[in-house]
Amino acid sequence: MADDTASMSIYRASRTIKKKHSSLFNSLLSIHEDSIFVSEIAQLWPQLPLVANLRCGLWYAKKFHSSCYFKSTDGHTNNLSFNTSRLNLHVATLAGQRGGCMIVDSTRKGKRFPDSMSKTIPIWTCVLNRAISNYRNKMNGINKPTEGVNCSTPNPDTTVQESPKWDTSLHLPLWVPDTEKTRIESNLNKWVDTFETSGVDIASISSLLKKPLRPLWISQKTVIWLNEVPDHNSWDFTPIILISASASNDIYRQKKSSEFSWNYIAGAGDDEESWARGLTPPMFWNNVYDLINSGPDVCNQMVANIVERDRVFRAQRGQNAPQFSVKLTKVESTWSAQFRDQLLDVIMENGINGDLLDDGNGIYWLGLTDLAVCSTGYDFKSSDVDSILNCDQNQIHCTLKDSEAYLHLPIVNSKFDRFSLQRNLPSALNFAKLHLKMGKRLVVCCNSGEDISVCVCLAILISLFNAEGTYDGGKFLKETRITKLDMRQRLIFVCKYVVNARPSRGNLKQVYNFLATVTNMSDTDVRGVCPL
């Protein structure tokens, strides 16, 4: 019994030490220190746009040109994949327009780079390069597929100046073992086929990219001679510079400032729910010097004041502003996650992602469909919106000419109700059909504008539009047996415009199950569509 008490005491002591090291003050100072490194690297190639890999990367710079979503899980050893629901095509477009880009991320695990940078992005660049090469070969009458070789693609009629050789080989960092490289290469052609048959507009990407994509890796251990920094235009590829923000040697390292001692935390921006107390990257950077100079005794209260001040500001403007609780229950953690996602949208609304939006204000119009996606924090007064479908749990304040042009469907995430979205889809489709057939512009919103609203729009597109994206009131759905390929293509169409879309697997599955009951699709097809 005494041994048990002693072991429990050691356990509690270790937890206390870990909690102290992982304090809010330590996290914020660590992020600030790492951001200096990111800023220094960004200044080496000032012409290249800085892109944050969600969500951790958002903490490491005050302003980003855009954001992306490459998941580390897609690069895990036993889960290697190329995910068509996270194509990040806007990154390829941006790199083609600007001659490359820099992506910022970090990791807590003591590694130099997260798996998203070591494997997920290299797989992505290779698949896109091979698909573009295949497309150009096809246009030139060459049907031979590319398998990791440099393919010459002469085309005298092209309007794009191409590199003499188009590199389609797989480029991985040195620390990825050969066995894993072999495993990736064995799947590349299959992933290229999936990409090519998904309905992606490869021609548009090909017209923008003058040189093949290629990842480069930079960490705090990378040696760069400042008098020999190459011009990115001198490379024979389009660089995707992967910046791992944090030092990788020790997870905790004692440091001192002019007034305080603190512990450095590698990858401090990761898993923000566990330490940020409702603070978001915009709040942090708007108050950065006050926070890092506050000291460990005052920091927590200062963050609480900042979060509450922002909540009041949003509440006074009729926006969704739930209170944040430090001691989280399961239900309260749901609210904190929603609060976090909503405040992420502030970044998009403030113009960091503005060049990718139709109006720069946080609303994404899906081509010419009169259908749009946004978060509930969007200011509807400033846009030409005829009808609103609100899928958030809370009501929003909006003024529409027709009182019947607003519908509130309180849909919750699949983690808390596996059938909430599926139950509400019939009402959502009826509402959408009523207004779209009259030529009205419909906006579908949810708390984050990234998940539930995206899935509802996907269901509307499949149910009420034909394959060309023209409204037909459901005629195409009645006459055609929807396949998993059709669904994947529609999702890619949505993600083409909603560049911050992050539909969850559980919510996507509800859409597929609903459509399966409508079209009498087989269970096998439903299962085949879910792992997008």
| pLDDT (tens digit per residue) in 507-525 | 998 998 898 887 764 444 4
Total-model pTM: 0.77
Report the alpha-carbon distance of residue 98 to residue 88 in Å, rounded.
16
Higher pLDDT, 469 or 41: 41
Cis peptide preceding 314, ω within 30 of 0:
no
Q: Which two tokens stand for residue 5?
A: 């008490």
Q: What DSSP letter does each residue of 474-518 carry, written as one string?
A: THHHHHS---HHHHHHHHHHHHHH-TT----HHHHHHHHHHHHHH
C-alpha 195/C-alpha 89 separation (Å) is: 11
* Mean local confidence (pLDDT), 149-166: 49
Among 335, 310, 369, which Cα is nearest to 493's?
369
Using the structure block, give the residue that is written with the tokens 């302003």.
63
pLDDT at 60 exceeding the cut of 70: yes
Q: What secondary structure letter does DSSP report for 231?
A: P
Q: Which residue has the higher pLDDT, 442 or 75?
A: 442
Structural element, H or E, at residue 290 = helix 288-292
Alpha carbon distance 302, 458 (integer Å): 42
Q: What is the pLDDT of residue 339?
A: 36
Among 122-136, 325-339, 391-405, the range scoring the smallest mean pLDDT is 325-339
Dig out the tokens for 49 from the structure.
């746009």
Q: What is the pLDDT of residue 349?
A: 33
pLDDT of residue 128 exceeding 60:
yes
The arithmetic mean of pLDDT across residues 464-471, rounded, is 89
The CB-side HSE value for 256 (13 A sphere, CA atoms) comes to: 2
pLDDT one-digit tens code per residue, 187-234: 999 999 999 988 888 999 999 999 999 999 999 999 888 888 888 889
Amino acid at 117: M
| pLDDT at 156 (0 to 100) | 41
Tens of pLDDT, residues 226-244: 888 888 889 999 999 999 9
Contacts of 32 (CB under 8 A, 6+ apart): 288, 292
